[in-house]
Amino acid sequence: MSQQPSYGPSPDQRPPQIWDTGLRPPRPPSEAPGFGPPPPAFGPPADGPGLPGDGGGPPRGGGAGTRRTALIITLALVLVAGLGTAGWLLMAGGEDRPEGAPLPKHRTASRIAWEEPVPTLEDSVQPTSGTWFTDRYVAKALPNKVVAYDLASGDRAWTVPLDGVVCATSTEAVAGRAAVQHGEGCRKLTVIDLEKKRELWTDELHDPTDPENFMEGELALSEKLVVLTSGSGSAAYRIDNKKKVYRDNGYVEDCSLSAAAGEESGKSLLVVASCGEAGGRQVWALDPETARRKNVWDVPDNLDVTNILSTSPPVIALQSQQAESVEYILRLRPGNRKPTKISVGEKGQYLCANDSPRCSDIVVTDDTVYLSGPTHESYGDGATLMNEVVAYDLGTGKSKRLLEPDNKRELEPFAVLDGDLIAYEPPTEEKGGVLLRYDAETGKRTVYERHPDWSSERESAIEQDAVPLLHRGMFFLAAEEIYSREEGESPKPLIAAFR
């Protein structure tokens, strides 16, 4: 059962709080070298030769949780006062609400509606990056299981146990399905049907050079396929029958696959390949139904693909082998068309720096890249640092506008709503967090959601180890890593929902 936070005083009466807080370190600038000629692009037709191998075959960190003072408010007080935090939750119910029923209407003045505490851990740190949504549930990958919670109430709805600890998860859930690599030596791959609340199938992974272990990989899905890329070997499976349509033992056609990405629509898949003795980099676009290569792009020499930022449109992050952070963003185009290049300079210092499949500080739409700018000194709203968000045109590669925060704080782009950017201003010690909406055409800023000041320290403690997510207009902070805690310490949330 989820903890229902008993936040109840008026915003003008802030309760006593002893939660730890912290500010992010400044981002040091870095200089980016020049960029060579654009990479050639070529693409065999979709009905060309398929990939070989048909058939079977063998982290952003934070501190430990802190104590907090519990505020006890009776049910009668909640119902009489009509507090937005819990009033609708107590009436919404869990299993009585029909599948796909609408959530309560979004409110600009929102607060923590419910939160789920982290479980007790045997090890000191465990990754928990898998977070997926359905119409009714939010599902979270825990060290040895996947647990789903009711979106409205936070009640625990169902659990799918896993054999062994989770090693990697798909970022996206497609058609209600998600993928998890887990088990002793990371040697199991499981597809979970989130709609039917059960394991769909599990396959044993085998590395012929190390039978006891399989390297942690990257997972991506389409409606028909799940793709795993790993240094131990890569494979593509049909989701409906577990049949491998592509398999290798680390190398195929003199290429090894090292990264994979999909999207929630399930209509596109990208993988990164290293080919030949020199390890030349390529990006492959795979047919989402057959895993045949539709397009192949060569990456310029001496550059590495650090992240696949988007699959539709195809956008990648690059850096030179001597660099310590992302230097360029490339929008790939089919055929021999010249790609769009964006030189990010110091803005790439912390791009995708979180140890998570979800890349931080960047949002890609059909025609725009929104990227967090470098932090600098702030003189407002209790914050010591602030930054802006730079909007780049994916057609020209040039910056087209600068998006400023509302309260001179740090600003993190993280979602798109009806074409508009949603960015999160994390809380300070005295001010609650804010979600800002920026018009896609004009960049005009409006407040999408504001959180109360009296719970700012709790929100700050949650935010330090979490990523912001938006689903059906509802805001969540989901932990990317969880930590063991000392006896008597109050746990930090695994996931917190705002309404």
Cβ atoms 114, 152 nearer than 8 A: no
Q: Which residues pair with 309 in a beta bridge?
A: none
Q: Is 297 left (phi over 0), alpha (psi -120 to 50) or beta?
A: beta
Please state the φ and ψ torsions of residue 65, each to the nearest 5 degrees: -65, 160
Beta carbons within 8 Å of 355's beta carbon, 6+ residues apart: 59, 60, 61, 127, 480, 481
Round to whole Å and give the CA distance between 32 and 319: 9
Round to whole Å and give the CA distance between 164 and 218: 18
Measure CA of the first residue to CA of the last residue in the chain; give whole Å: 19
Is 382 strand, coil or helix?
Answer: coil
Nearest Cα to 217, choosing from 156, 162, 277, 261? 261
Round to whole Å and give the CA distance between 439 and 419: 8
Cβ atoms 281, 299 nearer than 8 A: yes
- Alpha carbon 415 to its chain's center: 10
Using only C-alpha atoms, the chain has a radius of gyration, in whole angstroms, of 23
Q: Residue 254: its pLDDT value, please?
A: 76
Cβ atoms 165, 121 nearer than 8 A: no
Q: Residue 461: its pLDDT value, please?
A: 87
Angle, CA 360 vertex, CA 357 and CA 363 arms, to 5°: 105
Tell me the two tokens of residue 312. Answer: 């539709």
Tell me the two tokens of residue 357. Answer: 């499949």
- In the chain the domains, ranked by start, together with CATH numbers, are 1-20+72-113+358-499 (no CATH), 39-64+162-352 (2.130.10.10)
Burial class (CB in 10 A: 0-12, 13-18, 19+), 102: exposed
Cβ atoms 125, 77 nearer than 8 A: no
Q: Indicate the residue type of 4.
A: Q
Q: Locate tokens 């929104």: which residue? A: 370
Is 340 strand, coil or helix?
Answer: strand
Q: Locate tokens 């600068």: which residue? A: 402
How many C-beta atoms lie closer than 10 Å to residue 46's C-beta?
14
DSSP category for residue 396: T
- Alpha carbon 266 to its chain's center: 16
Round to whole Å and give the CA distance between 241 and 133: 24
Q: Residue 464: its pLDDT value, please?
A: 85
Can you point out the beta strands (E) in 277-339?
280-286, 293-298, 303-311, 314-320, 328-331
Is 451 strand, coil or helix?
Answer: coil
Tell me the two tokens of residue 333. Answer: 């185009």
Tell me the two tokens of residue 111. Answer: 């607060």
Burial class (CB in 10 A: 0-12, 13-18, 19+), 69: exposed
Round to whole Å and give the CA distance between 472 and 69: 32
Q: Residue 123: its pLDDT value, please?
A: 66
pTM of the model: 0.80
Tell me the two tokens of residue 348. Answer: 């790439």
Cβ atoms 454, 8 nearer than 8 A: no
Strands 225-229 and 218-221: antiparallel
Low-confidence ranges of the chain (pLDDT < 50): 6-97
